[in-house]
Structure 1
C-alpha cells in the first residue's frame, strides 16, 4: 500500500525538488525540441478503415508528412532535425502517423503488422521526442528482433503519442500529462484491435510511460500490461485489483535503476498532487515479477540483456506457462532459457 506518513523532512525535500524542477525546466527547455516549426498533419481515417490492405497508403501518407516537416526544419535552419527527419522518411520505415509539432508525435511499426498475430505497443517515458527518438527506435527494434521477428509474426509499435515530461520538470512529479495521454492511448489501442482483432496485444510501458499505461488500464482490452523502470502507477491504486484491468500485470526493475530511490507516495501540495503512488514491484501490489537483471534505467531493451529476454517472453506468450509469484520476496521469474528460478 502507499504510505501516507509524510514526515516534515520528506515534505521539505519534496517541496525543494518541486521548486528546483520549476526553475530548471524553463532554462533547459529554452531551445527545446518543441521550438522547431512543423506543418499541421493531414487528417487520416481511423486505423481500421480499409483494413490491413490500407496500411501501405497510411505509411505513404505519414512519409509525406515527415518530408514536409523536414523541409520546414531545413528552412528554419535546424539541420540536425532536418537530417533526422530525412532518415525517418526512408521508404524502409513504416509510420502509422506523424506530427512534428510540439516536440513530435510518432507511431512507428517494426515488423509486419499486416500479418502479425502478436503485437507489442511500446510506451516511452520522459524526455522522449523527435530529438531523442533514436533511443525509442532502438528499443523497439531490439524487442521485435528478440520476440522472433517477422518469422514469428510479432510486430512492435513504438507509440510516441503524447507530450512526454522532461526528467527535470514539475510535470514529471505528477500524473497530469499521463491523464492527458491515457485517452489517446485507449483510442489507438482500440483502433489497432479493430484492425487486428485476433492478435494478442501487450502494452510495454517504461518509466513515466508506465504511469500512462496504468491510468489507461481500465479502458484497455489487452493481454499484458508490462510496467518496468516505473516510478509509480500515478494514482492511489495500492494493488493490481485497483487498476480495474483484465490484463496480466507484470513489473520489473533492474538492479542499477535509480528509479528504485523514488518515494512512492502521493502528497497534495498547493493545487496539485505530487508523487506517483504505488510501486508496482512492491510485494503487496500483486504484479507478476519478471527478471530484469542489472539493467539501469535506460538499459531494459538493450540487445542481449536479461530484461529484454524477459519482456519478449511476455509479449510472445511464452511467459504465460510460468507460475509467477505475486511477491518480490519469493518470486518466480523467467531465466535466460525460459525456465524458472527462485530468487530472494
Structure 2
C-alpha cells in the first residue's frame, strides 16, 4: 500500500533538465590501452566545447560544472554533455591495475551534480592505492529521487545493456584485472538488472551453465557485487541475480533508505517497488558493516563503509567487518 501511494505523490519538485546545447560526443574508435591518452584528450576537448556552448546559452551553472571536466589530468573514457549528461571517468591506471572498481550511481546523479559522485570515486581510489583503479560510471540517465521512475526498474532495464557492454570493454582493456561492481541506491537496481540480463542472454538455465563453462558467457564476469544504500534490487534473493560473483550488502545506521518499504506491487501492469531488503537474512548477501553514516556517506574518507568496500575490491574478504 505504501509503495502504491508513493507513485501518486505529485512530482512537481522533480527538476527537468533544460535543453542545453552541447556537441555530439567525440568520435573514437575502439579504445585500446595504447589509445587511452588519446581518448582522454578527445573527451577533455569535448567537455571544453560543451562548457563554451552552455555559457553562450546562458546556463552558467552547467558551463562551470562541465568546464572543470576539461581540466588537465581528468581522464574520461567517454563523455556526453547532451541532456542530463553521461560520463565515464577513470581514476588510476586502468590498463595496468590489478583490481578495478566500477561505481554505479543512484538517483539524481548527472553532470550538474557530478562532483559529489566524483568525490566518492576519488576517495575510493586513494584508499585502494596503486593496485587499484576506479571507474565512475555515469553511463545511464538516472531517475529523479522524487519521480515515478525511481520506483520501477524501467531506467535500470535501459541501463543494463550499457553496463554489460562497458564491462566487456574493460575486459579488452585489461583482461587480467579483477573487476568489482559497487552499486549505490538505485544503482543497485541497475547492477541487478545487468546480472540478470546477462544470464537471460545466455538462454535457458542449462545452456547458460554450459556456455559459462565453455567461454565465461552468461555471467557478468566480475568477482564481486557490493550493494549499499539499496531500496531493493527487484530480485527476491541472491539466487535471483543468477551471478557467480560474491554478492555483498551494507547499510549505514543513519540511512533513510531503511524506511523505504521493501515490497513489490503491481500497479496498472507495472511492478512498483523492489522487494526483499538486500541486508536481510532472506536475501542471502554477505552483509558488511557500513558504520553510522547516512545515504550519501558510504564513500566518505575514513568511514567504516569505505574501508570495507576497498577490502572487497582488493580481495581482502577475510578482513571485511560484518554488521
1:36 aligns with 2:20: yes
- Counterpart in the other structure of 2:302: 304
Give the alignment partner of residue 273 of structure 1, picking from 259, 271, 274: 271
SS in 2 for 1:130: coil
Equivalence map 1:28-107=2 (5 Å): 28-29=14-15, 32-47=16-31, 51-107=32-88
Deviation at 1:115, TM superposition (A): 1.8
- 1:226 and 2:226 equivalent? yes
Structure 2: which 5+ runs fail to align? Answer: 199-219
Say whether the 8 Å CA contact 2:3–2:261 is kept in structure 1: no
SS at match of 1:28: coil
SS of structure 1 residue aligned to 2:113: helix
- Cα displacement string for residues 141-199 of structure 1 (whole angstroms, at most 9, x for unaligned residues): 00001112x2xx21000000000000000000001000000000000011111111000
Tell me how far 1:34 sits from its aligned partner.
4.3
Contact 1:33/1:130 (8 A) holds in 2: no
Q: Residue 166 of structure 2 is aligned with which of 184, 188, 192?
A: 188
What's the TM-score, normalizing by structure 2?
0.90
CA RMSD of aligned residues (A): 1.4
Structural mapping, 1:196-207, within 5 Å? 196-207=174-185
Query: SS of the counterpart of 1:192?
Result: helix
Change in CA separation of 1:130 and 1:271 when aligned onto 2, cut-off 3 Å: same
> Aligned partners of 2:195 and 2:249: how far apart in 1?
14
Structure 2 CA distance for aligned equivalents of residues 176 and 142 of structure 1: 30
What is the deviation of 1:43?
3.1
Structure 2 match to 1:136: 117
Cα displacement string for residues 267-301 of structure 1 (whole angstroms, at most 9, x for unaligned residues) = 11013111112211110211111110111000000
Q: Confirm or deny that 1:18 pairs with 2:11.
A: no
Q: Secondary structure at the match of 1:113?
A: coil
The 1-side partners of 2:109 and 2:221 are apart by 26
**Distance (whole Å) between structure 2 residues aligned to residue 42 and residue 137 of structure 1:** 21
Deviation at 1:35, TM superposition (A): 3.0
Distance in 1 between the 2:26 and 2:38 partners?
13
